[in-house]
Amino acid sequence: MKILNKKILSEVQGVRVTQLDVEARDIAAKALPGQFVVLMAEEKGERIPLTIVDNSNGAIRIIFQEVGLTTKLLGKLNIGDALFAIVGPLGHPTEIKKYGKVILVGGGVGIAEIYPVAAALNKAGNHVATILGTRTRELLMLEQELKNVSDEFYVVTDDGTYGEKGFTTDVLSRLLKKEKHDLVYAVGPIPMMRKVAETTRPHGVKTVVSLNALMVDGTGMCGCCRVSVAGETKFSCVDGPEFDAASVDWDELTKRNRVYADKEKHICNLNKI
């Protein structure tokens, strides 16, 4: 579980987005697009889920924003250091097949999560349109990598510093009105994914979201990551992380993901991370 490579992808207003390549041969050999790992940076740390962005040469790649205690501890690791624990691959992989015309929407760090899916859908013969959205140009990541696996490529920024000024759903709405699409796949902040679901609903296009619900054990035992989908309780770790966007109870998911926000800030301040 040694850190083989480390790269700072961006740093804006003191918040860094970091990429680590971690030696994990068994996980790398089995991982499929859409799956994730649960890891611990140190023995007394918490367990957090992170998407497997790439898996090759016996290593897995993870990308994370340093905003909480564990992600900040991860960011302090350097090449040669090792994680305390890691388990995976977890979750159901993305259903990869030839749909036809697909749109992938990535917001913020969710851009990293759509990359392996975009590459797989492109390889399966789909026409891939990719829409990336960030607050500002400096936060954009994997631009060239996603361009390489996309037939159409769009970038939007909240402040207009790169690409179009606006939101990912502005471009999404335009594409859906222009012609019929067979699949929309979105990963990003909950408000963005919710807006994607609202945007695609009138067009009747199949829409899949990968939920970043809070997790603890990642094996369906703790119930922390439960979410209501079509009126039924599902666990994001074992039933997901991907679900039909139109069936997700977005109000419930939003409230549950905020439940420990104050405690997280207190812990970070307490540990002076």
Which residue is listed with tokens 């089995």? 30
Of 193, 208, 204, which is closest to residue 240 (Cα–Cα)?
208
Q: Copy the structure tokens of residue 27.
A: 């996980």
Distance CA 84, CA 195 (A): 37
Which residue is listed with tokens 């492109």? 122
Our measurement of the distance from residue 5's CA atom to the centroid of its chain's CA atoms, rounded to an integer in Å, reads 20
What tens-digit pLDDT sequence spans the chain (273 residues)? 899 999 999 888 778 899 999 999 999 999 999 999 999 998 877 888 999 999 999 999 999 998 888 888 999 999 999 999 999 999 999 999 999 999 999 998 899 999 999 999 999 999 999 999 999 898 899 999 999 999 999 999 999 999 999 999 999 999 999 999 999 999 999 999 999 999 999 999 999 999 987 777 777 888 888 889 999 999 888 888 999 999 999 998 888 877 655 655 555 555 555
Contacts for 229-234: CB closer than 8 Å, 24+ residues apart: none
Q: Which domains does the chain have, with CATH numbers?
A: 3-90 (2.40.30.10), 101-257 (3.40.50.80)
174-223 confidence digits (pLDDT tens): 999 999 999 999 999 999 999 999 999 999 999 999 998 777 777 788 88
